[in-house]
Structure 1
Amino acid sequence: MAQIIFTQQLARFLPVPTLDTQAATLRAALDGAFADNPRLGAYVLDDQGCLRENVVIFIDGKRSRDRKTLDDPLQSGSKIYILQALSGG
């Protein structure tokens, strides 16, 4: 079972539990996670369902490939880290 882990930057705004998923793709995993918590989904995805510019997702240590389709495959035991990208000077 894959795990979705939200980093603590998002915890300032709302609860960010670690979630287990049996989804085969990142999109399916996110859809399942946000079905129960749409407010959390609004911090991660924009109104078109694409990854927000200030959010980065890593799967097993590698950055997700496509911010729009989010079709990265997941393996049993994958670790999905969702974090806000840091910016500024």
Structure 2
Amino acid sequence: MPLTTEEGLQILICWLQDNTDCGTEIIFDSDDALTDSAALLACIEQALNDVRTVHCLRLLLSPPITRISAGPHRLAFCAYIKERK
């Protein structure tokens, strides 16, 4: 089964965090910019938060399919998703 976007980003976050913790000196772009694991980690964490926000917005904006998916239950679900990060 293929990874979801969130799963892929989470794996990348763990790898970048390990690089940072171990002091691995990987430069991801030019020698001028010097984007290392710590700098990239912040960007990927923000991307994961953005993906989660988009998923919540999709849930909030999609038409209710069942009684449980309507109203405050949707908001509670989005809050739950944000807490999982």
Shorter-normalised TM-score: what interval? Answer: under 0.3
Compare CA radii of gyration and give the structure with the larger one: 2
Normalised by the length of structure 2, the TM-score is: 0.28
Q: Which has the higher strand share?
A: 1
